[in-house]
Structure 1
């Protein structure tokens, strides 16, 4: 599971931006939102006529994607603005 996400950027005016986001404390803070996400997911399943029995398979796929993220780097540059995201 990822432990730390680092966001680095260069603004168009030349200033640098560096942001460190610890994943586990963020998940603990956001975990009460799961109480709202479960009913919203079930309503979305009913609205799209998708079987709620597929939800565990979707969650399993999301978990596998989350565990595969460490070591991932994303870099984007447009003009004088640059953004780099690394997951550790």
Structure 2
């Protein structure tokens, strides 16, 4: 299952939390022209470095498929960041 929602939380210096909820599908639709360009550049890079394009696409798909449930937390001093992928 591909990720549906990315939640970004950041604790500001004054102690309040900034929360951003980013739906993945609308962002992908808006950025799809750039995504197509990135895929073409990736295919050219695969040919230059003699990597199988099918294997690279399969690996990228497996990585995206494994993202839901991932949490990234960073805390340093009074600043804290939490990135959650659902």
Kindly state the Cα deviation for residue 42 of structure 1 after the two structures are TM-superposed.
Answer: 4.2
In the alignment, the residues of structure 2 paired with residue 45 and residue 67 of structure 1 have an alpha-carbon distance, to the nearest angstrom, of 21
TM-score, normalised by the number of residues in structure 2? 0.83
Match of 1:74 among 72, 75, 80: 72
List alignment gaps of at least 5 residues for structure 1: none
Kindly state the Cα deviation for residue 37 of structure 1 after the two structures are TM-superposed.
Answer: 2.1
List alignment gaps of at least 5 residues for structure 2: none
Q: How large is the RMSD of aligned CA atoms in angstroms? A: 1.8
Instruction: Note the 1:1-88 alignment, pairs <5 A.
Output: 1-45=2-46, 49-51=48-50, 54-88=52-86
